[in-house]
Structure 1
Amino acid sequence: MATHAGSGESLVRRAMPIYLGLLFALLTAVGILLLFWLRHVLLILFVSMLFAATLSGPSEWLHDRLRVPRGLAAALIYLVSFGVLIGVGWLVVPPLLGQVAEFADRAPEYADRFEGVKEAYAELRNDYPALPPFEEQMSRLGNVILERAGERATALPGNLFSILLDLVSVFVISLLLVTSRARIRRFILSLVSVDHRGRVAMVLDRSWERMGVYLRAKLIVMAIVGSLTYASLLAIGVPFAVPLALVVAFGELIPRIGPWLARVPLLSIAALEGPRALILTFVASIVIQNAKGYVISPVVEGDQLDIHPLLVFLGVLVGASLAGPAGAFVAVPAVAVLDIVIREVVVPWRHEQLSRDEEEAGRVGRDARARAGPPAAAR
């Protein structure tokens, strides 16, 4: 009986690692699903952290220099930012509406050019009979556009309410993060051993600084690129300069891909104005993009986001697949934080682990040689 009980206990002990491994795998899968389901909440939280990190610099300056409480300082900065946005809107919206009305007035002219495209397509179809009729292609495109427009119009009230709720959430959470950042930092450090508190504090501070620098620099780059695009379109004579410049400026929110996607409507409108306008607009966009890459971004952003382009591209793809354009926008600062964690935590820990393994292997080798005694030639 004792032998049977001992064998049963031994069987349970041997099965315990398998049970724990399966339990850990199940909990990991549940955790990943939970993160996927809560990705919108996590996105709002990360965007709030971005805004809080951006506000923390000016609010700290107001707190240190003028003794303004951090919460009030952050609220004042928000009010000033809203005032700037209202002022920019006051300057931009009237010409924007005027150019939209101009586009409606010029619709017959674009229709005539559309007929020219139709005739060119008919000539091309004579050479390639396998091509479908032009009217069939346009009918399909029109049906798709109308279907999408109807879906958007139906979902518009709900989407507006959701956007308003998200904006209020970002505003409140970012204010709370600015005012409570010191307490949150102390709490996180209290959970870390004394030996590692210095490194963890450095990682927290550098991550916070990177996020703040990213958003501030991105807004400045957007303003410069949009202004240069607007001036170029005015000089070339391309119509609708205000909305096209705004599209190009907001395209800077999505790194790598966004700027070129934003230039699709720009080049499309320029093509309707003729080959000269198209070529000049394309050249101007290339010049502005290179100026941004070699002059504007290095001067504005400096080396604060020294990340490999491959990591940026992969991060944008993952962020866009998980949360759309908003995910692509937050992908770069998220990759920047992850880069700091890997460089400052994971890599040193791995090097230390490898160093211990090498020391252990060397000690075992020395002990083995000591037990074996001196070589036969020495004896």
Structure 2
Amino acid sequence: MSRRGVSLIVLSVVLGLLLWLLPEVPLLVFAATLLGVFLFSGSMLLRRVLPVSNGAGVGLFILALLLLSAAMGMLAARPIADQLNELWQQVPAAAASLSEQLSRYRWGQELLSRLQSGNISLPAGGGTTAFTALNSTLGALANLVLVVFLGLYFALDPTLYRRGIEALLAPSLRPRARAIAEEAAATLRGWLGAQLICMAVVGSLTGLGLWLVGVPLAPVLGLIAALLAFIPTVGPVLSAVPGVLLGLAQGPQEALAVVGVYLAVQSVESYLVTPYVQRRNVDLPEAVTIVALLAFGLVYGFLGMLLATPMAAVLLMLVKRIYVEGYLEAEPEGQKGVILRG
């Protein structure tokens, strides 16, 4: 067997063992890679207008993000905090109002009784549960810190880590691997740009629409819709829950108006904004997105759902470049067109 084949087998075996023994590690590395691509893209934008190195560009971009966050916090933290507090107080009241309205009907009473009968009591081992929750929280914080620092290292010197992967392959495969790595980075940059545009559009339109129909706390509901728009398909449904509850607290007509606002925003985002932006940046069919959400959500949970779409975009690109073009399309000319006989 050639060194080319051996290098591919060794790399595949190592990756397979890593996925089998430590399945969360590739997910965290991918999250760090996505963060690194984001920081490196910001550095690229700054270096177009400033004569600085990549490291200085990354530092300036992080500083700009911190200053922007601080400015927004100084200007909007107090109103947003007040609105979040009010939202936190009004949503339970809206849920109680909905329960009272449902209790007027026989079918509503039956629905409420079934929901109440499904309440889950607290486990007897409260101390063990609290200790487990504390360990999970600390583990999540530790993973977050690792992802941030790893993403920073990737952004500061992406060539170093790309060459490290190339060194594991035979010399004849390295130019191809370099081209695929550059295309993967371009795919992630395109997905990030498209996602940021979609989030901004969803948040702005949701806040404006809810304000027009007279729903309280429209700005904070728009912010929630923008943040949850990062999760395709599932995020918009989750973002609509507090808005619909607040609409129900004002009456059935207001609730229908809120539902209409969310449906209109999602229609604009799904049929106008996303197709235009995503097709210009990432070639990812909608069915593949839904399958990726289900698969990565079942395997990795909430974090898997957050990263399902960019991972699906990269995996689809790898399948196309490595398997379809690198293997199937490389079939010898003499074998093409031959019909298999049973």
TM-score surpassing 0.5?
yes
Q: Deviations over 1:59-78 (max 9, x none)?
A: 23445653423223212212
Q: Which moved more, 1:180-189 or 1:252-261?
A: 180-189
Distance in 2 (CA, whole Å) between partners of 1:180 and 1:108 is 52
Q: 1:272 to 1:224 in 2, by over 3 A?
A: same
Q: TM-score scaled to structure 2, two decimals?
A: 0.79
Task: Report how far residue 200 of structure 1 moved.
Answer: 2.8
Q: Deviations over 1:181-223 (max 9, x none)?
A: 1233344445555655443332111110111222233233212
1:173 matches 2:150: yes
Task: Report how far residue 314 of structure 1 moved.
Answer: 1.1
Out of 111, 116, 120, the position equivalent to 1:138 is 116
1:119 matches 2:96: no
Q: 1:111 to 1:60 in 2, by over 3 A?
A: closer
Distance in 1 (CA, whole Å) between partners of 2:43 and 2:277 is 20
Gaps of 5+ in 1: 1-23, 363-379
Q: Deviations over 1:250-272 (max 9, x none)?
A: 22121123222332333233223
Gaps of 5+ in 2: 1-8
Q: 1:357 to 1:89 in 2, by over 3 A?
A: farther
Amino acid of the residue matched to residue 311 of structure 1? V
| Contact 1:54–1:215 under 8 Å retained in 2 | yes
The 3-state SS of whatever aligns with 2:332 is: helix
The aligned counterpart of 2:60 is 76
1:55 matches 2:34: no
The aligned counterpart of 1:318 is 295
Amino acid of the residue matched to residue 37 of structure 2? A
Distance in 1 (CA, whole Å) between partners of 2:273 and 2:108 is 47
Amino acid of the residue matched to residue 248 of structure 1? A
The aligned counterpart of 1:328 is 305
Larger relative helix fraction: 1
The aligned counterpart of 1:4 is none
Amino acid of the residue matched to residue 202 of structure 1? A
Task: Report how far residue 161 of structure 1 moved.
Answer: 3.3
The aligned counterpart of 1:226 is 203
Distance in 2 (CA, whole Å) between partners of 1:97 and 1:168 is 26
Distance in 2 (CA, whole Å) between partners of 1:234 and 1:322 is 39
Q: 1:71 to 1:190 in 2, by over 3 A?
A: same
Q: 1:106 to 1:179 in 2, by over 3 A?
A: closer
Distance in 1 (CA, whole Å) between partners of 2:63 and 2:184 is 26
Out of 222, 226, 242, the position equivalent to 1:249 is 226
Task: Report how far residue 347 of structure 1 moved.
Answer: 1.0
Distance in 2 (CA, whole Å) between partners of 1:152 and 1:32 is 34
Larger radius of gyration: 1
**Alignment length, in residue pairs?**
325
| Contact 2:97–2:249 under 8 Å retained in 1 | no
Task: Report how far residue 311 of structure 1 moved.
Answer: 1.5
The 3-state SS of whatever aligns with 1:119 is: coil
Q: 1:42 to 1:300 in 2, by over 3 A?
A: same
Q: Deviations over 1:130-175 (max 9, x none)?
A: x48x56743643x55x77xx89976665454334323322221112
Distance in 2 (CA, whole Å) between partners of 1:52 and 1:136 is 48
1:358 matches 2:335: yes
Q: TM-score scaled to structure 1, two decimals?
A: 0.72
Q: Deviations over 1:210-252 (max 9, x none)?
A: 1122223323321221122111111111223244323322221
Distance in 2 (CA, whole Å) between partners of 1:39 and 1:159 is 17
Task: Report how far residue 46 of structure 1 moved.
Answer: 0.6
Q: After superposition, where does 1:15-94 map in structure 2 within 5 Å?
A: 32=16, 34-63=18-47, 66-94=50-78
Q: Which moved more, 1:261-270 or 1:153-162?
A: 153-162
The 3-state SS of whatever aligns with 1:175 is: helix
Distance in 2 (CA, whole Å) between partners of 1:247 and 1:37 is 36
The aligned counterpart of 1:208 is 185
Distance in 2 (CA, whole Å) between partners of 1:255 and 1:55 is 23
The aligned counterpart of 1:308 is 285
| Contact 1:248–1:262 under 8 Å retained in 2 | yes
| Contact 2:94–2:245 under 8 Å retained in 1 | no
| Contact 1:55–1:178 under 8 Å retained in 2 | yes
Task: Report how far residue 48 of structure 1 moved.
Answer: 0.9
Q: Deviations over 1:60-116 (max 9, x none)?
A: 344565342322321221222233233334444423332344453796686455333
Amino acid of the residue matched to residue 22 of structure 2? L
The 3-state SS of whatever aligns with 1:303 is: helix
Amino acid of the residue matched to residue 297 of structure 2? A
